[in-house]
Amino acid sequence: MHHPDAQLVLIDTPGLHKPRTLLGQRLNDLVRDTWAEVDVIGLCLPADEPIGQGDRFIARELVKLKTPVVGIVTKTDLVAPVVVAERLAAAAQLLDFADLVPVSAVADFQVRTLAEVLVGMLPEGPAYYPDGELTDEPEETLVAELIREAALEGVREELPHSLAVTIEEMKPREGRDDLLDIHANVYVERSSQKAIVLGARGARMKEVGTAARQQIESLLGTHVYLDLHVRVAKDWQRDPRQLRKLGF
């Protein structure tokens, strides 16, 4: 986020959790590595859910750090003001936050206020990125994430971490400057999961391809031909070699 007198570099980490696989351990390591490098931590607590054991687990980890933590009560548009007040009171008991801010991204409620709170906690220093630059993630990484999000839509509870995406090829079609060919693999751990992702006669995968292609075209500003294949990589979350291949 670029401001006249400041620049916010936002890092969205995986959720901290009790790991059951090697992938889970690596995701937790990524979270803790990120905590060690940032100036401020924002802990998001959705207003439409009571504070639970997972939130308390994260709070116990955060209290060990010297980094200031801002409590962010999100999705305030989904509940009545009295519920927001209850969530803020409960959050205040969870951790000694440097600040506590209720927000709604959908309703654009206090998003700017949150940015100002975070900017106020940053040390002085040079800008890390040029004006107008919004991310340092490679386009292939963003495309893979859009495909993964589309594939998880509707089956997130069944396959939360069992689905990975790799981009095998991404290049302009020969003789066409306005068309990008993207070939990607969607990996699951078991044949039964493959059937879930494909749907009856591949109908669900067609929906995934359409949704992902529209998102990718919006991101890249060009027409896209998206070729998706679902493959089984048995127990990839527990296999170091396969984790490396899939980018973890």
Indicate the domain borders of the chain. 2-119, 139-245
Nearest-5° Cα angle at 71, 35 to 80: 145
Cα→Cα distances 150→26, 158, 220, Å:
24, 14, 17
Tell me the average pLDDT of the chain: 92
| Contact between 193 and 148 (Cβ < 8 Å) | no
**Position 14 confidence tier, pLDDT thresholds 50, 70, 90:** confident
The mean per-residue pLDDT over the stretch 150-161 comes to 80
pLDDT of residue 133: 85
Q: In this structure, which long-range contacts are made by residues 239-247, counting pairs with CB atoms below 8 Å and at least 24 apart in sequence?
A: 239/22, 240/22, 243/22, 243/23, 243/26, 245/166, 246/164, 246/166, 246/187, 247/164, 247/166
pLDDT of residue 160: 66
Class in CATH terms, 139-245: alpha beta
pLDDT of residue 154: 79
pLDDT of residue 159: 73
Residue 47 has pLDDT above 80, yes or no: yes
Alpha-helical (H) ranges within the chain are 22-35, 53-62, 81-94, 111-119, 139-152, 191-198, 203-220, 240-245
CATH of 2-119, one of 3.30.530.20, 1.25.40.10, 3.30.710.10, 3.40.50.300: 3.40.50.300
Q: Is the pTM of this model over 0.85?
A: no
pLDDT: which is higher, 141 or 17: 141
pLDDT of residue 48: 96
The mean per-residue pLDDT over the stretch 32-36 comes to 93
Residue 147, helix vs strand vs coil? helix
**H or E element that contains 71:** strand 69-74
Beta bridge partners of 42: 70
The mean per-residue pLDDT over the stretch 134-147 comes to 91
Cα→Cα distances 182→51, 138, 173, 229, 243, Å:
41, 15, 10, 11, 22
pLDDT of residue 173: 92
The mean per-residue pLDDT over the stretch 65-90 comes to 97
Which candidate, 70, 80, 14, places its Cα nearest to that of 47?
80
The mean per-residue pLDDT over the stretch 132-149 comes to 90
- One fold for both 2-119 and 139-245? no
Q: Hunting for tokens 């997130």 — which residue is that? A: 156
Contacts (Cβ under 8 Å, ≥6 apart) of 166? 144, 184, 185, 187, 245, 246, 247
